[in-house]
Amino acid sequence: IIVVPERTQFPDTNEFYSTLLHEMAHSTAPDGRLNRNRDNYAREELVAELSSVVNGALLGVSSLPSKDNIRYIKGWQERITSDKNFLKSTIFDVGRVVNFTEDRLGLSFKNTIGKDLTQEYKQDKTIKL
C-alpha cells in the first residue's frame, strides 16, 4: 500500500501525482519486484525522482519538472559527470521502474497521455503494485 496525504493537502494536482509517482517508484525496489540495492539512500531517491518525472510526463500529469526536481538533479551533477556508469545504471533503473509501473497497473502510456486521472483517484484511493 502506498500512503500519501490527501489530494487537498497539495497546492495542485500535478504536485499530488508527482508525489504519488515518486512513492510508487520506491515501492518497486524491494526483493520480488526489481531488487534494487536500497543501501544507497541518495541514489534510490534519485531513481524515484527521475521515475516520477518520466511517468508524470508519460501520463500527462506534469509537462515540466518542478523546481524541486531540478534542484535535486543538479545536486547529482558532479557524480553524473565524474562516473559514466552512475548515470547509465540510474537511467537503467528508471526504465525498469517505468516498465514495471506500466505493466503492474495495466496501463498503456500511449493511451493515457493527457488524461485527467483525478476522477479515477477519487473513485479508488488504493493502488496495488
Task: Kindly report, residue by residue over 8-28, the tens digit of the pLDDT.
Answer: 998 888 888 888 998 999 988
Cell of 93: 533503473
Average pLDDT over the chain, rounded to whole? Answer: 76
| pLDDT value of residue 116 | 47
What's the rounded mean pLDDT across residues 68-93? 79
- Residue 59 pLDDT > 60, yes or no? yes
Arithmetic mean of pLDDT, 52-59: 83
Q: What pLDDT is stored for residue 40 in this prediction?
A: 75
E strand or H helix at 84: helix 84-105
Q: The dihedral of CA 54, 87, 22, 28: what is its sign?
A: positive
Alpha helices in 5-83 (DSSP H): 13-27, 41-59, 67-74, 77-82
Let me know if 16 is exposed, middle or buried by CB neighbors in 10 A (0-12, 13-18, 19+).
buried
The pTM for the full model equals 0.72
